[in-house]
């Protein structure tokens, strides 16, 4: 038995030695994998951010307009940023009419990662700011339905977006088509996961995250959708309108300071709540969101519910009375 | 991801045994041709991620000398090396105490990578470690390349150098399915039913992970659940037999 084993080890060592021999040679330099032509012609810079730049480009094969997100690899000590890996891998799996399509991925030199997406005309933030926001109720309803469809799809695939805001909602002007973008903070979720609390843009961040909870789920996205909904109606971020020192105080001013009765578990989550801020009586959503039909206001209040366990889901939102006349979708 | 049916895993990465053989043969053939032409096959990735390829022979004498010395690996020998590193991959996990999900993900990455390449083209030890690092990133179990390198006495730069080629070979299809949580629960139930909680017989999840008698192909031509079911039923039948033997002894 021993001889058999040592024979086997000997022959395997010989095999590894032969494998090692394969590398003994002179070399010539080659291209970096993926550094080959990205097959796009840059037209202009569409946007700039902390991550890098977005270029408006022309696909040299099809002649179609595309958007190229060029991300600077700052921390080369950790290779390709996990945020990019997360975004790319999730977009490879998510296929929905209201989610932006990732066309290809490439690399230039050792400093940039290029993500090529389908091109859309502008984002919802630009639409609200530059076009005097969607004044007609039909457009608001259409946009909301499409956003919720995309979010419901993500949640059904066990994906949290975690960074929903108007600048991450893209619009095709001619078709009035909405597409969710920027899945850099998105992640898969499970019942027993602890997540990071440092995410999302503060005006659209759910109260449980602002209260430093690390156990949250799909409800955080619904809060953000509620904030977007209100912003489409009033033309500016809801919690920017309320005069307060920070987002959490603004939320409590609008919806009332929570108690164990209104939000079970809040005292455990935020033991110093009574020290942190005074007890506010709710001002009510209708005070700020005036131009919204009653069913819309009802849906908004269900999205902007302090207690995450009572917050409406994306799936249920799509069946809400507010969308009964959506035969135009 | 909840929906396996619409996943890239199901659409692109499950093959028939015949398709697998063809892919292995194609990669092996390509490596052999490079070996004949250049006398070596291994590509190297430098610090900025550039690939360097073997130089073609300058003279017939060079070619003859090198050809005499280096004999290409057969498909079977390649499989043998791959299985060896798949088992090594488990050792890395035991050292770092990573969850099974990461172990499964890295193993699938490793298998998929060598559908496109021969072990003669890319050093399996380096690729194995890069797959571990990639799996940690995608499963959000943050381990720095340095930490990983230190833990197994390897240069972490080699892990980073190979990261790009691994992602591209996997076509960025990085979300993979492996039913370890449910299987682990099932195994616990089986253990309790068959031999009681204090018994010495333990089902080894690691054995399930390397996929038993045909580790190379199982996770590529069967759905994860099927692999697990087959392997678990094999284990259970062995346990049942063991249980009967114990009764006979008593």
Q: Domain of A45: which CATH number?
A: 3.30.200.20
Q: CB B175 to CB A187 under 8 A?
A: no
> Can you give the residue ranges of every domain in chain B?
8-169, 180-249
Query: What residues in A contact B77, CB-CB < 8 Å?
Result: 15, 18
Q: Between residues A59 and B54, which one has the greater pLDDT?
A: A59
Number of domains in chain A: 2
Q: Across the interface, which of A31, A82, A90 has its CB nearest the CB of B137? A: A82
Rounded CA separation A208/A214 (Å):
8
Residue A305's alpha-carbon distances to A142, A287, A312, B127, in angstroms, are 23, 16, 8, 48
Rounded CA separation B210/A278 (Å):
59
Residue A17 belongs to some domain of the structure: no
Angle CA(B126)–CA(B27)–CA(B6) in degrees, nearest 5? 85
Q: CB B175 to CB A27 under 8 A?
A: no
pLDDT (tens digit, 9 = 90+) per residue, A282-318?
788 888 888 888 999 999 999 999 899 989 999 899 9
Q: Between residues B151 and A111, which one has the greater pLDDT?
A: B151
Residue A228 belongs to some domain of the structure: yes
Report residue B60's pLDDT band, with 50, 70 and 90 as the boundaries.
low
**Burial class, B189, CB count within 10 angstroms (exposed 0-12 / middle 13-18 / buried 19+):** exposed
* CA torsion through residues B32, B33, B39, B40, sign: negative
Please check whether residues A234 and A318 belong to one and the same domain.
Answer: yes
Query: What residues in B contact A10, CB-CB < 8 Å?
Result: none
Q: CB B73 to CB A16 under 8 A?
A: no
- For chain A, the residues whose C-beta falls within 8 A of a C-beta of chain B are 12, 15-16, 18-19, 21-35, 76-80, 82, 85-86, 88-90, 92-93, 95, 105, 107, 109-110, 156-159, 187-188
Summary count for chain B: helices (H), strands (E): 12, 2
Report residue B216's pLDDT band, with 50, 70 and 90 as the boundaries.
very low
Q: For A153-178, what is the mean pLDDT? A: 88
Could you count the other beta carbons within 10 Å of the beta carbon of residue B129? 27
In the beta sheet, which residues pair with residue A115?
A: A69, A105
Q: CB A25 to CB B80 under 8 A?
A: no
- A69: distance to nearest CA of chain B, Å? 16
**How long a stretch of residues is chain A?**
329
Please check whether residues A232 and A163 belong to one and the same domain.
Answer: yes
Residue A133 belongs to some domain of the structure: yes
Report residue A125's pLDDT band, with 50, 70 and 90 as the boundaries.
confident
Q: Domain of A221: which CATH number?
A: 1.10.510.10
Residue A196 has pLDDT above 70, yes or no: no
Residue A29 belongs to some domain of the structure: no
The domain boundary, picked from A118, A153, A177, lies at: A118
Closest CA to B136 of B98, B170, B183: B98
Residue A315, domain extent: 122-323
Is residue A325 annotated as part of the catalytic site, yes or no? Answer: no
The domain boundary, picked from A118, A150, A184, lies at: A118
Half-sphere exposure of A189 (CA within 13 A, CB side): 23
pLDDT (tens digit, 9 = 90+) per residue, B78-91?
989 999 999 888 78
Please check whether residues A131 and A182 belong to one and the same domain.
Answer: yes
pLDDT (tens digit, 9 = 90+) per residue, A241-250?
665 657 777 8
Interchain CB contacts (distance < 8 Å): A and B: 134
Angle CA(A222)–CA(A242)–CA(A48) in degrees, nearest 5? 65
Please check whether residues A169 and A233 belong to one and the same domain.
Answer: yes
Please check whether residues A72 and A215 belong to one and the same domain.
Answer: no
Angle CA(A101)–CA(A107)–CA(A109) in degrees, nearest 5? 155
φ, ψ at B205 (rounded to 5°): -65, -30
Closest CA to A233 of A281, A285, A283: A285
Q: For A75-88, what is the mean pLDDT? A: 76
The domain boundary, picked from A91, A118, A145, lies at: A118
pLDDT at A79: 83
- Residues A166/A128, Cβ–Cβ less than 8 Å: yes
Candidates A8, A12, A22: best to mutate against B (most CBs of B within 10 A) is A22
Q: Between residues B151 and A189, which one has the greater pLDDT?
A: B151
Which residue of chain A has the CA closest to B160?
A: A79
Please check whether residues A72 and A190 belong to one and the same domain.
Answer: no
Residue A108 has pLDDT above 50, yes or no: yes
Q: For B86-99, what is the mean pLDDT? A: 82
Q: CB A23 to CB B7 under 8 A?
A: no
- Residues A20/B123, Cβ–Cβ less than 8 Å: no
Residue A106 has pLDDT above 70, yes or no: yes
Please check whether residues A76 and A152 belong to one and the same domain.
Answer: no
Residue B214 has pLDDT above 50, yes or no: no
Candidates A14, A29, A30, A33: best to mutate against B (most CBs of B within 10 A) is A33
Q: CB A79 to CB B173 under 8 A?
A: no
Query: What residues in B contact A24, CB-CB < 8 Å?
Result: 40, 70
pLDDT at A190: 61
- The alpha carbon of A295 is separated from its chain's Cα centroid by a whole number of angstroms, namely 27
Q: CB A85 to CB B120 under 8 A?
A: no
Please check whether residues A142 and A233 belong to one and the same domain.
Answer: yes
Residue A128 belongs to some domain of the structure: yes
Rounded CA separation A263/A261 (Å):
6
User: Active site residue: A163, A221, A246, A307, which one?
Assistant: A163
State the average pLDDT for chain A. Answer: 79
Summary count for chain A: helices (H), strands (E): 13, 11
Residue B198 has pLDDT above 60, yes or no: no
Q: Across the interface, which of B49, B159, B172 has its CB nearest the CB of A105? A: B172
Please check whether residues A162 and A91 belong to one and the same domain.
Answer: no
Of A72-76, A228-232, A238-242, B160-164, the one with minimum mean pLDDT is A72-76
State the average pLDDT for chain B. Answer: 75
Please check whether residues A166 and A287 belong to one and the same domain.
Answer: yes
Residue A105 belongs to some domain of the structure: yes
Query: What residues in B contact A156, CB-CB < 8 Å?
Result: 2-3
- The CATH architecture one would assign to domain B8-169 is Orthogonal Bundle (1.10)
Q: CB B172 to CB A92 under 8 A?
A: yes
Please check whether residues A86 and A227 belong to one and the same domain.
Answer: no
Please check whether residues A134 and A236 belong to one and the same domain.
Answer: yes
Kindly give the residue spans of alpha helices, DSSP state H, lying in A118-265: 124-130, 137-156, 207-210, 219-234, 238-241, 247-255
Q: Across the interface, which of A30, A88, A105 has its CB nearest the CB of B51? A: A30
Q: CB A156 to CB B3 under 8 A?
A: yes
* CA torsion through residues B125, B127, B133, B139, sign: negative
pLDDT (tens digit, 9 = 90+) per residue, A140-152?
999 999 999 999 9
- B166: distance to nearest CA of chain A, Å? 10
Q: For A6-32, what is the mean pLDDT? A: 64
Of A126-130, A170-174, A209-213, B195-199, the one with minimum mean pLDDT is B195-199
């Amino acid at each position: 038995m021993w001889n058999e084993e040592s024979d086997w080890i000997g022959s395997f060592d010989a095999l590894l030695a032969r494998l090692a021999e394969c590398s003994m040679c002179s070399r010539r330099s080659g291209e970096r994998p993926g550094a080959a032509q990205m097959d796009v012609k840059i037209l202009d810079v569409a946007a700039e951010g902390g991550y890098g730049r977005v270029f408006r480009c022309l696909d040299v094969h099809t002649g179609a307009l595309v958007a190229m997100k060029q991300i600077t690899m700052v921390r080369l000590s950790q290779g390709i940023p996990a945020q990019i890996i997360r975004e790319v891998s999730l977009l490879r799996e998510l296929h929905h009419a209201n989610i932006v399509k990732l066309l290809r991925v490439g690399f230039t030199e050792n400093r940039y990662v290029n993500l090529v997406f389908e091109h859309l005309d502008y984002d919802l933030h630009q639409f609200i700011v530059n076009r005097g926001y969607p004044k007609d109720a039909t457009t608001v309803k259409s946009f909301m339905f499409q956003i919720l469809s995309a979010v419901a799809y993500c949640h059904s695939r066990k994906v949290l977006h975690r960074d929903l805001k108007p600048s991450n909602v893209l619009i095709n002007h001619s078709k009035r088509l909405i597409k969710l973008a920027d899945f850099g903070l998105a992640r898969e979720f499970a019942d027993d996961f602890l997540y990071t609390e440092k995410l999302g843009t503060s005006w659209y961040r759910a109260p449980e995250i602002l209260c430093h909870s690390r156990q949250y789920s799909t409800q955080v996205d619904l809060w953000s959708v509620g904030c977007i909904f209100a912003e489409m109606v009033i033309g500016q971020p809801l919690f920017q309108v309320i005069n307060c020192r920070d987002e959490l105080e603004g939320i409590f001013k609008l919806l009332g300071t929570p108690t164990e009765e209104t939000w079970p578990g809040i005292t455990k989550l935020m033991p110093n709540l009574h020290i942190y801020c005074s007890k506010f009586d709710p001002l009510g959503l209708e005070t700020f969101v005036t131009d919204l039909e009653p069913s819309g206001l009802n849906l908004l209040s269900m999205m902007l519910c302090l207690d995450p366990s009572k917050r409406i889901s994306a799936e249920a939102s799509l069946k809400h009375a507010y969308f009964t006349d959506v035969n135009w979708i | 991801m909840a929906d396996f049916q619409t996943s890239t895993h199901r659409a692109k990465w499950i093959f028939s045994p015949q398709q697998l053989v063809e892919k292995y043969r194609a990669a092996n053939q390509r490596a052999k041709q490079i070996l004949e032409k250049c006398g070596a096959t291994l590509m190297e990735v430098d610090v900025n991620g550039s690939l360097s390829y073997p130089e073609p022979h300058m003279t017939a004498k060079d070619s003859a000398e090198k050809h005499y010395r280096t004999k290409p690996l057969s498909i079977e020998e390649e499989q043998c090396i791959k299985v060896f590193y798949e088992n090594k991959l488990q050792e890395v996990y035991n050292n770092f105490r990573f969850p099974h999900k990461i172990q499964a993900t890295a193993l699938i990455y490793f298998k998929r990578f060598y559908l496109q390449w021969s072990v003669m083209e890319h050093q399996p030890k380096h690729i194995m470690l890069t797959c571990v690092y990639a799996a940690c990133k995608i499963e959000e179990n943050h381990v720095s390349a340095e930490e990983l390198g230190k833990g197994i006495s390897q240069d972490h730069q080699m892990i980073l150098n190979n990261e790009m080629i691994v992602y591209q070979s996997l076509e960025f299809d990085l979300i993979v399915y492996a039913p370890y949580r449910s299987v682990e629960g099932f195994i616990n139930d089986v253990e309790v039913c068959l031999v009681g909680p204090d018994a010495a017989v333990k089902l080894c999840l690691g054995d399930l992970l390397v996929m038993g008698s045909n580790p190379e192909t199982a996770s590529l031509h069967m759905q994860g659940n099927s692999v697990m079911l087959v392997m678990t039923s094999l284990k259970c039948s062995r346990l049942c037999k063991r249980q009967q033997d114990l009764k006979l002894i008593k």
